[in-house]
Structure 1
Amino acid sequence: MNVNKMASGYTTWSFFLHILILMCVFEGGGRVMARAHLEEAGLLRLHSMDADVKDDQIRMDTKHDEDMHGRHDHAHAHTPHNHMDHSANVFLVEKSLKVGNTMPIYFPHRNPSSSPHFLPREEADALPFASDKLPYLLQTFSFSDGTPQAKATSLTLEQCEAAPIDGETKFCATSLEAMLDFARSIFGMGTHFKVVSTIHHRNSIPTSQAKPVLHNYTMVNIRDLSATSMVACHTMPYPYTVFYCHHTESETKVFKVSLISEDADEKVEAVVVCHMDTSEWNPAHVSFRILKIKPGTDPVCHFFPQDHLVWVPSPSV
């Protein structure tokens, strides 16, 4: 068995679940303000840094981080928090992508108006983005050492500095310009590309009051974007917007799926990414347990949460 290839598949899915869990763990209404020049710029609107997060949750996220880089060759069979169990309800097999199909899906709802914003490139480049500068960063952001905000900042820096796994090209973008440059480096200078993301439309539930819970959704339309390549960008918990962007060599498909909730109160235009070859994945991966399948039997797909982005060549959009 190709260990590197197995690690690549396992890492991709473990990373996605890790980030989803980490963002949910830190989800909350708490706002932590940094020094005056950052505060005035509106940069520290920390929707993802809830001060109530517990240390055992931080330790669990650290273990997820170790596993997704192949330092351990096993998956987590259970978690002590119900919302983390729910967060695994994003997986499905490709053959389940059918109009009329109903399934429970976990979407962590967020208020876009409270999300942090990208810094202009010159401002982002002026701030160090490195673990060895963590003391300076904590002082700049007014985070006390050992707090959940400090731990989240440290974990994000460590993940961004970790070496890519075999077949992966990765980059942590601290500005929109940097993200576009990375996508361009993947697709090629002569290729036009666009972004797709999951969008929620709610009738009676204010976005600010929506909770990240499990709901049944019915698929009402499915569109294959026929993307020959893709770059996935995942939001990271940090005082300002940071995206972990990566591209893998393995075959993928990208879909836009229109969903409606069982009470017809919410419509979702969701991004779904399918990995076509799982034959070299770790058999203990959580998706196989959730879907009750074995490696190499079915393509494994997952829904992208709000705020996460997928870049694809523009002819496929």
Structure 2
Amino acid sequence: MAIPSPHLHLRLRLRLLLLLLLVWYVAASHSSTLSNSSVNPFTAKAALIRYWNRKVPNNYPHPSFFVSKVSPLSALDSATFSSLAAAGDLSARLPALCSAGRLLCGNYSAPVDASLSKSTTPSAFSSYENSNFSNYGTGAGGGADSFASYSPDLNVPIDTFRRYSRDAAGHNDSFTSYAPDGNVVTANFTSYGSSATGGAGSFTSYDDSANVPDLRFTNYEANSNGRSQSFSSYSNEANSGSQSFAGYGKSGNGVPVSFTSYGNESNVIGSGFANYGENGNGATDSFTAYGGNGNVPENTFRSYGSGGNAGSDRFKSYRDQANVGDDSFTSYAKNANGGDAGFENYGKSFNEGSDTFKGYGEGTNPNHQISFKGYFGDNTTFKGYAKSGVSFKNYHNTTSSASLSVAGEKKAAPAANNRWAVESGKFFREKDLTKGTVMPMPDIRDRMPARSFLPRSIASRIPFSASEVQRAFGILPDTAMGKAVADTVAECNRPPSRGETKRCAASAEDVIDFAVEVLGNDVVVRSTESSGGSKGPILIGNVKGINGGKVTKSVSCHQSLFPYLVYYCHSVPKVRVYEADILDVKTKARINHGVAICHLDTSDWSANHGAFVALGGKPGEIEVCHWIFQGDMTWAVAD
């Protein structure tokens, strides 16, 4: 057999080296926003830029906000994980993929820490995270546990407090600033404090500013005796998510519970109270300033207090100044004895919600005292409520309206009614985008967790279904993250509205493809530069209308909550797109550069849309503008 000449090996190596240099040169020459020395031609970022240049050959710079979201995986890692995804075995190397790919991953099943199990030593838990406190404090006598700044600033904290303080006597628990600023927070308090005697539990500033909290209090304090519980500033300023109180205080004796400033200024928080206080004796519950200033709070009270004895419930200033909201009271206090409930200043939502009272106070036991004093709501249904012991005093009071005052050279037009029901500045009119106008800026911060796209070679091999994504990433369906995945998939599969073209993009290439498909290949992607000016007054500087300020088409893309970046991209007809310098009101210094889109045709929008609450008017009567938030984007024709 002939032996290859060493010169042949040398020539092959030289040819390979020249080929690599050629590939590197082509990649670097097309990377207009990145220096030649900074681009590795074999990364996903370099591949995306080459793809972008082929699809959009207009030589516009590739903006850093978009390029920074591209996967940091190397070519070798991309090939390895792509093969695993194709074989359905991605979970075998999941920790490595999450770390190298900059994904939103976590320990989706709470870890077991043997040192915490069945411990009875009173402790202070500060800066703990992702722990399992099952059976902790069981049978404890006296003492106190303090959870201060527990699980702060985590993406996916999962904590389990199953059977915590069960059968304890005089044991106190304090949860202060628990899981603040978390992203996808799951906490399980099953049988917490059950059969305990005396003592107290306090949840203060729990889950504040969390994104998609999922909290479960199942059989919490069931069969307990005289153990008090308070929820103060619970889940304030949280976004989406749900809380479940199933069998809370069931068969308890003299259990006082207070919910003060619960869920205030939250966005679409759902709370379920099923069999809450069932068969309890002398239970006292107080809901003060519950759900105030919230956006679409949804609360379900099913069999709440049923079969109880001498229970007392107070709903004061409940859902005050909220936007819409729906509450359902089914079989509330049914077959209870001597139930005492008061709804005072309940339901003063600025944009009318709905309340349903079905089977309220019904049953054979007498002595109910249920009053609706100052209850506000046209869209309320009372079906099958008790025929005695129920009074409606000053039902449907009216509220006064106010207007927002902003100081400055010019003022954005005030809302016709109920301005404060929607965050100031979230919606505005096209005339407000004029140099010299002072207007409020909403919170435009990117509150989503930091993640990257997956390379298309990997993303395309993961079926876009909730069960498949949950399986691939080891996510339990009954967790906050599992529910977020299911919600994202459901929204992506929703049929488009009239005139809408939509697609969920699971890779950077998918985003570019959709934009080019809708708008053509001479397009530019834009986003608001930063979060500068958020939640304060701003001064509008120079304004530029895209496409000469004419009616145009655009593709807007909004982040969805998923382990990797997924954008909900859609195009709607009849819009104008603007860029504007955002200035400090006092110094006139430039603090941001914003992108805004104005929808000229609102005829298909719901009459309850927050834009009409904030601005007045009806569908089809007015145009509605809003900022493109940090982290989102809009594609439009190049200028």
TM-score (norm 2): 0.36
Which of 459, 472, 490 is residue 158 of structure 1 equivalent to? 490
Which of 97, 120, 128 is residue 463 of structure 2 equivalent to? 128
> Which fold has the larger relative contact order, with Cα–Cα distance below 8 Å and residues 6 or more apart in sequence?
1
Partners in 1 of 2:352 and 2:579 — Cα distance?
30
Which of 469, 474, 480 is residue 137 of structure 1 equivalent to? 469
Instruction: Kindly indicate whether residue 571 of structure 2 is the aligned counterpart of residue 247 of structure 1.
Output: yes
Q: Is the 1:86–1:106 Cα contact (8 Å) retained in structure 2?
A: no
Mapping of 1:226-245 within 5 angstroms? 226=547, 228-245=552-569
Cα deviation digits, residues 95-129 of structure 1 (max 9, x gap): 111111111111332489x6211111101112121
Structure 1 position 85, deviation (Å): 5.9
Q: Is the 1:200–1:266 Cα contact (8 Å) retained in structure 2?
A: no
Partners in 2 of 1:308 and 1:201 — Cα distance?
12
Structure 1 position 40, deviation (Å): 3.1
Which of 422, 436, 441 is residue 100 of structure 1 equivalent to? 436
Structure 1 equivalent of residue 95 of structure 2: 36
Partners in 2 of 1:254 and 1:106 — Cα distance?
18
Instruction: Kindly indicate whether residue 582 of structure 2 is the aligned counterpart of residue 259 of structure 1.
Output: yes
Partners in 1 of 2:352 and 2:453 — Cα distance?
35
Q: Is the 2:101–2:454 Cα contact (8 Å) retained in structure 1?
A: no
Mapping of 1:43-58 within 5 angstroms? 43-45=102-104, 49-51=183-185, 52=207, 53-55=212-214, 57-58=240-241
Q: Is the 2:104–2:562 Cα contact (8 Å) retained in structure 1?
A: no
Residue 49 of structure 1 aligns with an amino acid whose one-letter code is N
Q: Is the 1:232–1:247 Cα contact (8 Å) retained in structure 2?
A: yes
Unaligned 5+ runs, structure 2: 1-92, 106-154, 156-181, 186-206, 216-239, 243-267, 271-294, 297-322, 326-350, 354-419
Structure 2 equivalent of residue 193 of structure 1: 523
Q: Is the 2:598–2:623 Cα contact (8 Å) retained in structure 1?
A: yes
Structure 1 position 278, deviation (Å): 2.5
Unaligned 5+ runs, structure 1: 1-33, 66-73, 203-211
Q: Is the 1:276–1:300 Cα contact (8 Å) retained in structure 2?
A: yes
Residue 95 of structure 1 aligns with an amino acid whose one-letter code is K
Which of 286, 289, 300 is residue 613 of structure 2 equivalent to? 289
Which of 506, 522, 535 is residue 174 of structure 1 equivalent to? 506
Structure 1 position 161, deviation (Å): 1.1
Cα deviation digits, residues 203-254 of structure 1 (max 9, x gap): xxxxxxxxx9621111011110126211111111111100000112x21000
Q: Is the 1:225–1:256 Cα contact (8 Å) retained in structure 2?
A: yes
Partners in 2 of 1:269 and 1:78 — Cα distance?
36
Structure 1 position 259, deviation (Å): 0.9
Structure 2 equivalent of residue 91 of structure 1: 427
Cα deviation digits, residues 149-185 of structure 1 (max 9, x gap): 1111110011111111221111000111111111111
Residue 194 of structure 1 aligns with an amino acid whose one-letter code is V
SS across alignment from 1:179: helix
Q: Is the 2:445–2:531 Cα contact (8 Å) retained in structure 1?
A: no
Partners in 1 of 2:604 and 2:483 — Cα distance?
33
Q: Which shifted more, 39-48 or 120-129?
A: 39-48
Partners in 2 of 1:172 and 1:217 — Cα distance?
33
Residue 214 of structure 1 aligns with an amino acid whose one-letter code is K
Q: Is the 2:446–2:629 Cα contact (8 Å) retained in structure 1?
A: no
Partners in 2 of 1:126 and 1:280 — Cα distance?
37
Structure 2 equivalent of residue 30 of structure 1: none
Residue 574 of structure 2 aligns with an amino acid whose one-letter code is E
Partners in 2 of 1:200 and 1:287 — Cα distance?
23
Q: Is the 2:515–2:635 Cα contact (8 Å) retained in structure 1?
A: yes
Structure 1 position 61, deviation (Å): 6.7
Q: Is the 1:224–1:255 Cα contact (8 Å) retained in structure 2?
A: yes
Q: Is the 1:201–1:267 Cα contact (8 Å) retained in structure 2?
A: no
Partners in 2 of 1:88 and 1:163 — Cα distance?
31
Residue 478 of structure 2 aligns with an amino acid whose one-letter code is G
Partners in 2 of 1:236 and 1:85 — Cα distance?
25
Partners in 1 of 2:531 and 2:487 — Cα distance?
32
Partners in 2 of 1:58 and 1:169 — Cα distance?
28
Distance of aligned partners of 1:58 and 1:289 in 2 relative to their CA distance in 1, 3 Å threshold: same
Distance of aligned partners of 1:180 and 1:213 in 2 relative to their CA distance in 1, 3 Å threshold: closer
Which of 545, 557, 560 is residue 224 of structure 1 equivalent to? 545
Residue 107 of structure 1 aligns with an amino acid whose one-letter code is D
Partners in 1 of 2:96 and 2:481 — Cα distance?
19
Q: Is the 2:426–2:626 Cα contact (8 Å) retained in structure 1?
A: yes
Structure 1 equivalent of residue 454 of structure 2: 119
Structure 2 equivalent of residue 28 of structure 1: none
Partners in 2 of 1:140 and 1:312 — Cα distance?
35
Larger gyration radius, structure 1 or structure 2 = 2
SS across alignment from 2:614: helix
Residue 223 of structure 1 aligns with an amino acid whose one-letter code is K
Structure 1 position 270, deviation (Å): 1.1
Structure 2 equivalent of residue 309 of structure 1: 633
Residue 297 of structure 1 aligns with an amino acid whose one-letter code is E
For these two proteins, the number of residue pairs brought into alignment is 254
Distance of aligned partners of 1:280 and 1:41 in 2 relative to their CA distance in 1, 3 Å threshold: same
TM-score (norm 1): 0.70
Percent identity among equivalent residues? 29
